[in-house]
Amino acid sequence: MGLWNFVKTAGRKIVGAEELPTAALLHKEVADLGLDTKGAEITVEGDKVVVTGGDMTQEEREKVILAVGNVEGVSAVEADTADEPTFHTVEKGDTLWAISAKTLGNGSKYNAIFEANRPMLSHPDKIYPGQVLRIPTEA
């Protein structure tokens, strides 16, 4: 199992202040994004989320990890993955172009990062500090 850290105070707010998201709310968040867990179980252990099982592809599993990790109140996600995913945490002042130049060696490949993070991203300019993005291995 891999463990990925997230910024607990950043992300989509699905519960009130001082509350932690429940497994049911995280399942709803994933479903609302149009992602299918294909039978995976999502459990919550404090501020850590665990994703186990399911018949997802590597890409689908990475998107589920990001969907539940980029929720306010979640500090880490533990999950089985076939390969080690490449994630990037957005810093203040980052743009997809700058992230693409840094991670893919060419800023003009920013659209590959945008597409790799759909449906979580609705527009290339709508990223925020603390958000974790998936970096595609082939761009």
Q: What is the pTM of this model?
A: 0.94
In single-letter form, the type of residue at position 86 comes to T
The pairing of beta strand 2-5 with beta strand 41-45 = unpaired
CA dist list (Å): 18 to 7, 8, 11, 87: 15, 11, 14, 27
The residue count of the chain comes to: 139
From first CA to last CA, the distance across the chain in angstroms is: 26
The pairing of beta strand 76-79 with beta strand 48-52 = parallel
Tokens of 89: 């945490």
What domains does the chain contain, in order, with CATH numbers? 2-79 (no CATH), 87-134 (3.10.350)
pLDDT in tens, the chain (139 residues): 899 999 999 999 999 878 899 999 999 999 999 999 999 999 999 999 999 999 999 999 999 999 999 999 999 999 999 899 999 999 999 999 999 999 999 999 999 999 999 999 999 999 999 999 999 987 6
Which position has the token pair 């969907």?
67
Tokens of 73: 């109140």
